[in-house]
C-alpha cells in the first residue's frame, strides 16, 4: 500500500489528520498497517465504556460537550447490523455481542491509539456477567470508574472486586446505594469522588478525606460536624482537598455553629477574586463566592465556604485571582 511507503514522520502526520472512522477502517487493512499505526502514537480522547440499559463505547470532544464517536450494542434487532449512522460516527451492533466483543474491541483500539484511557461505567445488576471480563488487563487502563444502578446496592465485596480488577487512577462515581456496612476508607483517596447517596458516612471518615474534589449528597452531616471538619483542616490535615461540595442545605446554614471558634471575614476583593474555578473532569465550573466566608488554616492557606442553591461549597484557593 502506498501509504506505507512514506517515511514514519510523514505517515504519522497523515494518520493523525484522519477522522476516527477513517483510522479504524485503515487499521483493518493489514497487520503491517496496524503495526505502523501503533508506532505513530495517535492520540485520542478517553473511551467511555458503559453497560446496563445501554451498552456503548463512546468518545467525546476535549470539553466533554460533543460526542465524536459511538459504538452502540442495540437491545432490539435492526434490519442491518453494523450499519454506520450519524455522519459516520456511529456503529450499531447486536447487544448479545457485548460480553464477547468488548475485550477484543478494546484491545484493537489499544493497538491503534497511544496511551489509551478508559472511563468505565458498570451497572451493578450486570456485575455477575462482567466479573470474568473485568479480569482482563485491558481494564487496568481505567482512569474513571462509575458504579451505576440507582436501585442497586453496592456491597464491600463487589466494590473491592471491581477496584482490584480496574484500579482506576483518577476518580470514582457511585450512583447506586451503599450497603449499611460500607467501608468508605477504600474510596477516600481518589482525586475525584462523587457519591450522590452517601448515607451514614462517619465523621471520622470525612476527616480522612484525601481527594482533591469531593461531591457528596444525601449525607448525615450537620453544621456542627462540618465545623469539626474545618478545625481538622485548619490544623494541617486534608492537604489534598481543594473542593468539598455537599447537598442538603436548602436554607442558609447557621454560620454561628458552622464557623464556631474560626476566625473568618467577608469577601475582600484585594484578598481574592469573586469567582472560583473548578474542573471535575472536562467541563470547568465557576462558583460565585461574593457571599462566601473566608478563613485560613494554620499555614496561611486561604479557604472559602459559600452557600448556593441547596449546596454548601468548601473551596481551597491555590490561585486567589484566577483569570
| Range 173-197 average pLDDT | 97
pLDDT digits (tens, 9 = 90+) for 41-95: 999 889 999 998 778 888 988 777 788 888 887 765 554 444 433 333 445 555 5
| Range 275-302 average pLDDT | 94
| Range 270-281 average pLDDT | 94
In this prediction, residue 54 carries a pLDDT of 78
pLDDT at 28 over 60: yes
In this prediction, residue 89 carries a pLDDT of 44
What distance in Å separates the CA atoms of residue 292 and residue 169, rounded to the nearest whole number?
32
- Residue among 102, 89, 197, 111 nearest 147 (CA): 197
In this prediction, residue 1 carries a pLDDT of 59
Whole-structure pTM value? 0.88
In this prediction, residue 78 carries a pLDDT of 52
- H/E segment holding residue 123: strand 118-123
User: What are residue 67's DSSP bridge partners?
Assistant: 60
Number of C-beta neighbours around residue 279 at 10 A: 12
User: What are residue 217's DSSP bridge partners?
Assistant: none
C-alpha cell at 314: 468548601
In this prediction, residue 205 carries a pLDDT of 97
What distance in Å separates the CA atoms of residue 222 and residue 233, rounded to the nearest whole number?
17
Instruction: List Cα–Cα distances, 300 to 126, 154, 230, 235, in angstroms.
Output: 49, 40, 14, 11
pLDDT at 310 over 80: yes
What distance in Å separates the CA atoms of residue 162 and residue 147, rounded to the nearest whole number?
9
| Range 11-33 average pLDDT | 89
Share of the chain above pLDDT 90, in %: 67
pLDDT digits (tens, 9 = 90+) for 207-262: 999 999 999 999 999 999 999 999 999 999 999 999 999 999 989 999 999 999 99
In this prediction, residue 67 carries a pLDDT of 83
In this prediction, residue 92 carries a pLDDT of 53
What distance in Å separates the CA atoms of residue 309 and residue 240, rounded to the nearest whole number?
26
Average pLDDT, the chain: 90
Amino acid at each position: 500500500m502506498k501509504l506505507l511507503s512514506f517515511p514514519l514522520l510523514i505517515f504519522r502526520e497523515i494518520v493523525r489528520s484522519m477522522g476516527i472512522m477513517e483510522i479504524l477502517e485503515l487499521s483493518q487493512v493489514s497487520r503491517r498497517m496496524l503495526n505502523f499505526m501503533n508506532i505513530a502514537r495517535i492520540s485520542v480522547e478517553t473511551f467511555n465504556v458503559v453497560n446496563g440499559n445501554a451498552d456503548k463505547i463512546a468518545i467525546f470532544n476535549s470539553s466533554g460537550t460533543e460526542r465524536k464517536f459511538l459504538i452502540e450494542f442495540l437491545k432490539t434487532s435492526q434490519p442491518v447490523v453494523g450499519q454506520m449512522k450519524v455522519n459516520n460516527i456511529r456503529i450499531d451492533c447486536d447487544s448479545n455481542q457485548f460480553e464477547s466483543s468488548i475485550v477484543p474491541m478494546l484491545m484493537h483500539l489499544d493497538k491503534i491509539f497511544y496511551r489509551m484511557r478508559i472511563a468505565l461505567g458498570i451497572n451493578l445488576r450486570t456485575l455477575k456477567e462482567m466479573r470474568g471480563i473485568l479480569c482482563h488487563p485491558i481494564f487496568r487502563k481505567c482512569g474513571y470508574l462509575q458504579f451505576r444502578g440507582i436501585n442497586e446496592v453496592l456491597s464491600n465485596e463487589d466494590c473491592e472486586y471491581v477496584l482490584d480488577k480496574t484500579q482506576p487512577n483518577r476518580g470514582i462515581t457511585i450512583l447506586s446505594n451503599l450497603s449499611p456496612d460500607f467501608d468508605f476508607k477504600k474510596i477516600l483517596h481518589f482525586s475525584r469522588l462523587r457519591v450522590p447517596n452517601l448515607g451514614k458516612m462517619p465523621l471520622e471518615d470525612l476527616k480522612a478525606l484525601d481527594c482533591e474534589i469531593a461531591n457528596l449528597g444525601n449525607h448525615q452531616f450537620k453544621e456542627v460536624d462540618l465545623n469539626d471538619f474545618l478545625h481538622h483542616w485548619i490544623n494541617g490535615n486534608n492537604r489534598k482537598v481543594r473542593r468539598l461540595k455537599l447537598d442538603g442545605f436548602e436554607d442558609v446554614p447557621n454560620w454561628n455553629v458552622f464557623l464556631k471558634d474560626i476566625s473568618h471575614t467577608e469577601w475582600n476583593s484585594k484578598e481574592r477574586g469573586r469567582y472560583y474555578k473548578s474542573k471535575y473532569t472536562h467541563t470547568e465550573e465557576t462558583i460565585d463566592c461574593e457571599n462566601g466566608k473566608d478563613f485560613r488554616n494554620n499555614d496561611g492557606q486561604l479557604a472559602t465556604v459559600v452557600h448556593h442553591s441547596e449546596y454548601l461549597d468548601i473551596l481551597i484557593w491555590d490561585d486567589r485571582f484566577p483569570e
